[in-house]
Amino acid sequence: MNGLTVMNTKELRDTLESVYRKLHGSTDGLDAGLDSLKQSGAVFDPGRYAPGERGTGKVLLAELFTGAECPPCVASDIAFDALGEYYPRSDVVIIEYHVHIPGPDPLTTNDSWNRYQMYRGGGTPTVVIDGRESIVGGGPKYIARNRFNLYRNAIQKYKGDEPGMSLKIDVLRRHDSIAVAAHVGRGWGQAKAGNCVLHLALVQRTVDYTGGNGITKHSMVVRRMFGGPAGIPVSSTLPEETIQLTLDMADVEAGIRDLLRDPKGQPSWPGRRRNFTGWRGVPEEINRSNLTVAAWIQNVDSHEVLQSVAQDVPAGTGGD
């Protein structure tokens, strides 16, 4: 019965009816049982994460490419919210990028579109686990539990890995700027590290916006990449280095307004799409008390993520 809630084909339905009839004498109650499973799949308790006794120090990165106009993204959005409840940030960093698929999404950025293309995205939703495994496809909200289990199982495959590099970040907010100092070390797996870059993302923990698929609150939305989507090169010779970058929030919001004002003139606008009749809403302001910086080191050639970390942006000083 669980299978039919995910893939409702005639062959699967016929098989289920045959088995159900043998067990119960008729198909009475079958549809009611399916409806109950659908409801439990949409609203579920992800459970409690029980980490192993010995941690490796590796923090995995789970990325979701989604769209507010994308009906199949609903299950994945709900499942990613559940992953954020299930895993502590010290084990898995969870972030989401919005793209204009299949319709215009005001939470899209040129940075998010660039990253989607880097992974050769096959549509929305697409989930990438630690840069190594892509999972394409979603569905309506009643298969959210199925998507959660699928993503969790993928994450668990990499939970015993050692970090390829070490990474710590210090995040400060002065007036209306966010300053990050990333401390990178090559203490582990130097041969594995190879040609690497540091990525830093400004993440809004929640954004209120209702798109065509009915999702009203979006979690861990990437709003800007520090230093651009290509990342910042990491030295291949220094055993340790500190990389410092700053983002001005006024510049971030100005960039968002430019995207909203002229979406078709941006690199993030798919060339095949010509019609645009306006936004459902314009979430152009960013709540300064609702921000996190996510950081990760990634191999440019293999896309493998060697280490990740996330830290909330603290309350500012001075002119805040």
**pLDDT, tens digit, for every residue of 213-269?**
999 999 999 999 999 999 999 988 888 999 999 999 999 999 999 999 999 999 999
**In the numeric block, which tokens belong to residue 10?**
């005639």
Tell me which CATH code domain 166-249+274-312 carries: 2.60.40.10
At 226, phi and psi to the nearest 5?
A: -60, 130
Domain with CATH 2.60.40.10 in the chain: 166-249+274-312
Question: Which pLDDT does position 53 carry in this prediction?
Answer: 56
**In the numeric block, which tokens belong to residue 283?**
């979430």
Question: Which pLDDT does position 178 carry in this prediction?
Answer: 97
* Calpha distance 8→288 (Å, rounded): 44
Question: Which pLDDT does position 16 carry in this prediction?
Answer: 55
Helix %, strand %, coil % of the chain (to 5): 30, 30, 40
pLDDT (tens digit, 9 = 90+) per residue, 46-57? 998 987 655 678
Question: Which pLDDT does position 38 carry in this prediction?
Answer: 45
Cα distances from 212 to residues 74, 101, 225, in angstroms, run: 10, 11, 26
* Calpha distance 139→5 (Å, rounded): 10
| Exposure class string for 44-78: b at 16+ Cβ within 10 A, else e | eebeeeeeeeeeeebbbbbbbbbbbbbbbbbbbbb
* Calpha distance 81→61 (Å, rounded): 14
Question: Which pLDDT does position 276 carry in this prediction?
Answer: 83
* Calpha distance 179→170 (Å, rounded): 8
| 43 within 8 A of 110, measured Cβ to Cβ | no
96 has which bridge partners? 64, 221
Sites in the chain below the pLDDT cut of 50: 1-9, 34-35, 37-41, 191, 318-320
Question: pTM for the full model?
Answer: 0.85
The structure tokens 């910042």 sit at 232
Q: Select from 251, 314, 269 the least CA-distant residue to 288.
A: 314
Question: Which pLDDT does position 282 carry in this prediction?
Answer: 84
